[in-house]
Amino acid sequence: MSPHDESTFPGAWSPETIRTEVDRIVSVHESGELPSIVQLGHPVLRMPAAEFTDQLDPAALRAFLDTMRAVMIDAPGVGLAAPQLGIPLRIAVLQDLYETVPEIAAAREREPLEYLEIINPRYRPVGDRMASFYEGCLSFNGYQGVVERPADIATSFRDAHGATVERHFSGWQARIFQHETDHLDGIVYIDKALTRSLCANHEYPRWANPGIAGARAGLGF
């Protein structure tokens, strides 16, 4: 039986079950294909992921992280959490090196984010500054919505070698970190979105401005 058929997440998953499913996902990648991204409605996206306590040995962890990165880039996306591949572990990868229109980059404080692997991440707001912008999700295909989030955060996580890392992020980098960490708590961005802002991807160009004032006026949120 595939672990995706189990009725409870993630408590029913033994380390052996996790390793077996990770091996399957990695083997898909090694065969020249990419595993599918889990979509909203699957229970793995709605359960808190388990702390990573070395359920995977270093080689298996490295192979899984590399697979996650390949899926994220191919999607394309700027982040991917392990539950989005059906694995209930507190692991995510982030990267945002896409070119952006300067006006939009300035309004959204969007700076390049070099590839980053975060394991057992936590974050907390720093100060009272908030920012509201559109977000999309690889596990909720076809839509985007406005989410208000802290603009500045302090984070802690471990890297793939087990070292503890503490970093501050602001602007779009902070948004990406929060979005992916939320996945590990069973939270999808739509849970925090202003629902009247929700729009289909093919309608989003109407509102792809540096800020959200036009969308706020046009959609009434």
Burial class of residue 162 in the structure, from the number of CB atoms within 10 Å of its CB (0-12 exposed, 13-18 middle, 19+ buried): exposed
Please give the backbone phi and psi of residue 136, each rounded to the nearest 5 degrees, phi first.
-125, 175
SS3 string, 107-122, reads HCCCCCEEEEEEEEEE
The total of other beta-carbon atoms located within 10 Å of residue 172's CB is 22
- Is 114 annotated as catalytic? no
Gyration radius from the chain CA atoms: 17
Q: Read off the amino acid at residue 121.
A: P
- CB–CB of 201/136 below 8 Å? yes
SS3 assignment for 142-182: CEEEEEEEECEEEEEEECCCCCEEEEEEEHHHHHHHHHHHH
Catalytic residue, candidates 21, 117, 135, 180: 180
Catalytic sites, residue numbers: 180
